[in-house]
Amino acid sequence: MKILFIFLDGIGLGEDNPAINPLLRAQMPNLESLLGGKKLTQSAAPFEGKIITLQSIDPNLGVKGLPQSATGQAVLLTGVNIPAELGYHYGPKPNPEVAQYLSGQTIFSNTVQKGKMAALLNAYPPRYFDGIDSGKRLYSSIPQAVTNADLPLFTDQDYFAGNALAADFTGEGWHSFLGIPEAPTFDPEAAGQELARLAQKYDFSFFEYWASDYAGHKQDMPWAVRQLEVFDGVLKGLLQHWDVSNDLILITSDHGNMEDLGTRKHTAAQVPLLLFGEKKNRDAFKDVSDLTGVAPIINSLLG
């Protein structure tokens, strides 16, 4: 069994209000057809389909304050209620107290310890590593967990060689933002096919999409809608080349944000847990009610 974890940063299950929620405005025919014609909002959950399950899970974890990225991502990777143990949510990058949880007890390290193959499928450009090496940039929780498991972070060379995917799925950002005109680009459906091809190389693979959180902080409705529509195309290509009879795709988030562009802040909204695969595999997650429930089930399935 192979598991692909797609992490969508800062996407909650919001209100049925198109004035603030881009998930109501975006044209997402592929996902919505699987959800019985429903939009990805709080009113759609729970939902059970032929190959899809949608559940609503809690990122607040009984701790005051709005959930934050460092702790939320670390909880997803470990299954430990880190905000409850520390007494606070924290982010965006892990402080030393959060970072201590990211060594030896994450999904990545557990997969490696079982003798299985794991990878973070994102390709990072040279300027990212320059920032890390200079001390001007800190790892977020996800790449920190990867490096702590002695797994490599993929580079621009990996991207050009077809061993990793750009963080925006299509690679357009490598042209428009990074100024690398020779970088490969894909239309959304082809990017989904590429993601499926890469994920099949590993027992557990992870893809991090952070631009959704950025759009929420910027309160940028047109960009948010565009991102969601690109993601829907990616999902189409991915599912066309995925063995849903045996393997599992899991999609979730660390906190709400993008679903309410009426605020620049994170939200306390529940987040989606989307599962694609055989019902018996999806049913393993049926009792998951918050972020802490995700990692233990993945570890069990991989075991």
For the CA atoms of 277, 25, 262, 257, what is the dihedral angle to 10 degrees?
A: 20
**For 222-253, b where at least 16 C-beta lie within 10 A, e where not — what string?**
eebbebbbbbbbbbbbbbeebebeebbbbbbb
Mean pLDDT for 54-74 is 98
> What's the confidence (pLDDT) of residue 234?
98
- The one-letter amino acid code at 174 reads W
- Give yes or no for a contact between 209 and 231, defined as CB atoms under 8 angstroms apart: yes
Please name the residues in contact with 62: beta carbons below 8 A apart, sequence gap of 6 or more.
81, 84
Provide the 10 A C-beta neighbour count for residue 148: 17
The residues spanned by each domain of the chain are 3-302
**pLDDT band at residue 214 using 50, 70 and 90 as cut-offs:** confident
Please name the residue that has the structure tokens 């920190």.
144
Q: What integer pLDDT is reported at residue 170 of this predicted model? A: 97
Percentage with pLDDT > 70 across the chain: 100
On the question of pLDDT at 193 being above 90, the answer is yes
Q: How many CA atoms lie within 13 A of 58 on its CB side?
A: 10
By the 8 A CB rule, do 113 and 82 touch?
no
- Nearest alpha-carbon partner for 213 in 146, 295, 271: 271
Strand order in the sheet with 204-209: 47-48, 52-57, 271-276, 248-252, 3-8, 204-209, 118-120
For the residues 226-253, what does the mean pLDDT come to?
Answer: 97
Specify the pLDDT at position 284: 98
Q: Which residues pair with 290 in a beta bridge?
A: 58
Alpha-carbon torsion 285, 61, 266, 68, what sign? negative
Q: Is the pLDDT of residue 215 over 90?
A: no
Q: H/E/C letters for each residue in the chain?
A: CCEEEEEECCCCCCCCCCCCCHHHHCCCHHHHHHCCCCCCCHHHCCEECCCEEEEEEECCCCCCCCCCHHHHHHHHHHCCCHHHHHCCCCCCCCCHHHHHHHCCCCHHHHHHHCCCCEEECEECCHHHHHHHHHCCCCCCHHHHHHHHCCCCCECHHHHHCCCCECCCCCCHHHHHCCCCCCCCCCCHHHHHHHHHHHHCCCCEEEEEECHHHHHHHHCCHHHHHHHHHHHHHHHHHHHHCCCCCCCEEEEECCCECCCCCCCCCCECCCEEEEEECCHHHHHHHCCCCEHHHHHHHHHHHHC
pLDDT, mean of residues 42-56? 98
Model confidence at 222: pLDDT above 90: yes
Q: Is the pLDDT of residue 226 over 90?
A: yes
Judged against a pLDDT cut of 90, whether residue 211 lies above it is answered with no
pLDDT tens string 65-119? 999 999 999 999 999 999 999 999 999 999 999 999 999 999 999 999 999 999 9
Q: What CATH code is assigned to 3-302?
A: 3.40.720.10
Q: What is the pLDDT of residue 126?
A: 96
pTM over 0.95: yes
pLDDT tens digit sequence for 125-162: 999 999 999 999 999 999 999 999 999 999 999 999 99
